Amino acid sequence: MALGVPALPLTYVAHVLALVASILVVLWVLNFRGGLAWDSDNKALIFNLHPVLIVIGLLVLGGEAIISYKALPLKKEVKKLIHLVFHAIALILGIVGIYTAFKYYNESGIANLYSLHSWLGIGVIVLYGIQWIYGFVIFFFPGGTPDIRRASLPWHALFGLFVFVLAVGTAALGFLEKLTFLENSGLDKYGSEALLVNFTAIITVLFGAFVVLSALADAPPAPAADDYEAI
What is the tens place of the pLDDT at every residue in 10-23? 999 999 999 999 99
Q: Which amino acid is at 91?
A: L
The mean per-residue pLDDT over the stretch 87-114 comes to 96
State pLDDT tens for residues 153-166: 999 999 999 999 99
State pLDDT tens for residues 178-222: 999 999 999 999 999 999 999 999 999 999 999 999 999 988 666
CA proximity to 192, closest of 31, 30, 18, 23: 31
Distance CA 77, CA 125 (A): 26
Ramachandran assignment for 55, one of left (phi > 0), alpha (psi -120 to 50 degrees), beta (any other): alpha
At residue 230 the predicted structure's pLDDT band, cuts being 50, 70 and 90, is: very low
- CATH pick for 7-216 out of 1.20.120.1770, 1.25.50.20, 3.40.50.2000, 3.40.50.970: 1.20.120.1770
User: Does the pLDDT at position 129 exceed 50?
Assistant: yes
Q: What percent of the chain has pLDDT over 70?
A: 94
CA proximity to 86, closest of 106, 66, 113: 66
User: Looking at residue 225, what is its pLDDT?
Assistant: 52
Mean pLDDT of the chain: 93
The mean per-residue pLDDT over the stretch 120-140 comes to 97
User: Does the pLDDT at position 231 exceed 50?
Assistant: no
Residues whose CB falls within 8 Å of the CB of residue 42, separated by 6 or more in sequence, listed in order: 34
The mean per-residue pLDDT over the stretch 131-150 comes to 94
User: Does the pLDDT at position 8 exceed 50?
Assistant: yes
Lowest mean pLDDT among 34-43, 120-129, 212-221: 212-221
Q: What percent of the chain has pLDDT over 90?
A: 87
The torsion angles phi and psi of 69, rounded to 5 degrees, stand at -70, -25
User: Does the pLDDT at position 31 exceed 80?
Assistant: yes
Q: Hey, where are the domains in the chain?
A: 7-216
> End-to-end distance of the chain based on CA atoms, in angstroms?
9
User: Considering the entire predicted model, what is its pTM?
Assistant: 0.92
At residue 75 the predicted structure's pLDDT band, cuts being 50, 70 and 90, is: confident
Is the bond into 146 cis (omega within 30 degrees of 0)? no
